[in-house]
Amino acid sequence: MHPSLDRWLNRVVGLLAITVTFYGLANVMPAIGNFRLGPFPMEFFRATFFSLCLMAVGIDMMRTLPNKNNGVSFRRIALVVTILISTLFLLYAARSYYLVSIELDSAMFLFGTREAGIALGASAAILFFCWRIWGAPVAMLGLLSILYLLTGPYWPGPLKTIPGDIYELLAQNLWYSLDTGILGATFSIVITTVFPFIILGAILAGVGAGESMIRIAFAVMKRTAGGPAHAAILASGLFGSVSGSAVANVVGTGVVTIPMIKRRGFSSNFAGAVEAAASTGGQIMPPIMGAAALVMADYVGVSYLTVVVAVLLPALAYYLSLFFMVMFEARRLGIKPDAQAADVSAPATQDYLNLLLIFVPLAAIVTLLVAGMSASGASLSAIALLLPLSLINPAVRSEPLRILYAFRAGGITFAQLLTAIAAVSIVISTLSATGVPVKFGVLMVSALEESKFVALLVVAAGCILLGMGMPTLPAYVTVAAIALPSMEALGMAPLAAHMFVFMIAVASTITPPVAIAAYAAASISGGKPIATAVSASRIGIMIFVIPFAFAYEPLLLTVSQAGADFTWPRYLMLVLQLTLSIYVLASALIRFDRVKLSWSQVVMRIAGCVLMFSGQAELEILGIALATLAIAVTNFSPKKLIRKYQ
């Protein structure tokens, strides 16, 4: 692309992205005295906001198309034409949505061939955008949903759906509805709840808090054998809570941490896997949880604070498991602590001051949410607090435009996320129209006759498959729409069921074959994508194990809404069991503790871990005994004690 044209398009994208940001924020802004900008009329806002997002995404896609050897290929021309036509058609469809919505408000409206065609065309265009931005899995899921909506009456057995008016079925469920379809209820929830947090995360990244956090993390972890690997875990856990995307977290922190992990002596695959697993964990780390905490609280009907308290122990346990994994791998490779090995400069006083840019807004959000303020109000208050607070960073004072660039980055990030949300909305609408969740629940009830564990495995497999290739929030929303009736059939409390599907859906970002966080990390580390994904799944194994643990022991979620009465003795015992299980499972998977473990030791440790959360007191005691014995044999054998005191 010609440099002058590229600059012009970049400016147009920037203007559109900033417009998206301020238009969206104005719509959720609470009244300030007698002054109020939003909310705007619902039909008008959804149509116009969607149009702005799609124009920003479409022009940005055309601007960033790969251009090999600066030549003009047929494929490039075809893509540009397709993007342009798709963008224009979506603008036309948005106008039609607004006009038809006005008619629906005033009188009955009969959908015909024209509306069905617009709905199908808009769906095809949005799935094309989704494919270009997020990859084939998300787009394919949306396409399969549309095909099932069209062909449902012809499917055999329980998959058969009731025939209906095909025009109304397509138009209502895909496009022309305030409750279902691409511009339906999910779109509304994301705008009012998630959008302000995406902008907040972009501002946090733009005002320089991320670089300071990495330097401090390296300083804290420099005396551990894992060094930069432990620093990557700490930094990704903090940054990932507000980033809203495991991939964004990998790219944001991994460019610094992954090369340093490799230089410490870890393999390329392991370096990428550590960053991918740590970045994925950021999505389950309170207080924001990739913005899913607020959506979950709304879905379950509990307070935001309840969700945060419930997820705290599982999130901390997951990060403890990552620390153990790195520790045992460092021992296996014979890597020793080296405080001078890191190339990251030591944190200065300004770096510690910059931490205020992260923790003050987060503290404000938690305080306001607990006090009863809405999610959008709390996030807007945090943004308003962060803007003047960012001036404590000299880099912002010398270049105030960094804040405007952050608004631009937040706008384009959300516009891209909206394409995934739109594809997910197609899936959810199809599920609602065809009754698939109910049928899946019947399947779970029949699986439950075999065993609860088998039923949970089926649900977990579905969560991973449906979450493949998606950002955190769309993955959670999609999986929840299908799996939650099944989880209730298993007798789980709604909060525990939501937390189960949420954590497993998040885990799909490191699960082969479509492990998008692991692939992003592999592109930085130079490792093999599939090998990095396999290694990340091994390192992050507890994100799969912990949901099964609290499915059997709901007290691990701490709050009574999870389905268990809280008692301190039992709770503390479960914390000790969880810590012990993390230690033995991590050492078993690395196959190293103080020395290389035999296969009998590996089996003993895994068996102890499984039995500790079987839900039966006798088996739990046996599991604790097995795990304790395995650790004692490895660490405190008579020969080791004799050598130690000689």
User: pLDDT by residue (tens digit) across 455-465?
Assistant: 788 888 877 87
Average of per-residue pLDDT across 294-315: 86
Q: Give the model's pLDDT for residue 535.
A: 93
Exposed (0-12), middle (13-18) or buried (19+): which is 150, by Cβ within 10 Å? middle
Q: Tell me, what's the pLDDT at 585?
A: 93
**What pLDDT is stored for residue 31 in this prediction?**
54
More confident residue, 274 or 359: 274
Q: What pLDDT does 444 receive?
A: 62
Q: How far apart are CA 257 and CA 271, in angstroms?
A: 8
Nearest alpha-carbon partner for 576 in 527, 633, 635, 620: 620
**pLDDT, tens digit (0-9, with 9 covering 90-100), for 230-269:** 888 888 877 776 666 777 778 777 877 888 888 888 999 9
Boundary-marking domain end, from 189, 206, 233:
189
304 is a domain residue: no
- The helix/strand/coil state of 406 is helix
Region of poorest pLDDT, from 97-106, 172-181, 376-385, 388-397: 97-106
- State CA 114 to chain mean position distance: 37
Q: Does 404 map to a domain?
A: no
* Residue 107 pLDDT > 70: no
Task: Give the per-residue pLDDT at 51.
Answer: 92
Q: Is 26 domain-assigned?
A: yes
Tokens at 75, concatenated? 């494929």
Q: Considering only residues 304 and 281, tell me which one the structure prediction assigns the higher pLDDT.
A: 281
Spatial separation of the C-alpha atoms in residues 205 and 358, rounded to whole Å: 9
| Side chain identity at residue 160, one-letter code | K
What is the pLDDT averaged over residues 464-468?
74
pLDDT of residue 527: 85
**pLDDT of the residue at 540:** 92
Whether 321 shows a pLDDT value over 90: the answer reads yes
Question: With bands split at pLDDT 50, 70 and 90, how would you rate the model's confidence at 644?
Answer: very low
Distances in whole angstroms, Cα of residue 187 to Cα of each of 168, 182, 458, 459, 597: 21, 7, 29, 26, 51
Whether residue 575 is contained in a domain is answered as: yes
**Residue 645 pLDDT class (50, 70, 90 cuts):** very low
565: tokens are 């009465």
Residue 538's pLDDT is what?
92
- Nearby residues of 37 by Cβ (< 8 Å), 6 or more positions away: 26, 27, 29
Question: Residue 322: is its pLDDT beyond 90?
Answer: yes
Mean pLDDT of 195-206: 82
Buried b (16+ CB within 10 A) or exposed e, 548-583: bbbbebbbbbbbebbbbeeeeeebeebbebbebbbb
Q: Indicate whether 555 belongs to any domain.
A: no
Question: Residue range 329-338: average pLDDT?
Answer: 84
Does residue 400 belong to any structural domain of this protein?
no
Residue where a domain terminates, one of 131, 164, 189: 189
- Residue 290 or residue 50, greater confidence: 50
- Give the domain range for residue 161: 3-189
Angle between helices 452-467 and 494-507 (to 10 degrees): 50
Boundary (domain end) residue, out of 153, 168, 189: 189
Total domains, the chain:
2
Query: Is residue 295 one of the residues assigned to a domain?
Result: no
Q: Is the pLDDT of residue 642 over 50?
A: no
* Domain membership flag for residue 118: yes
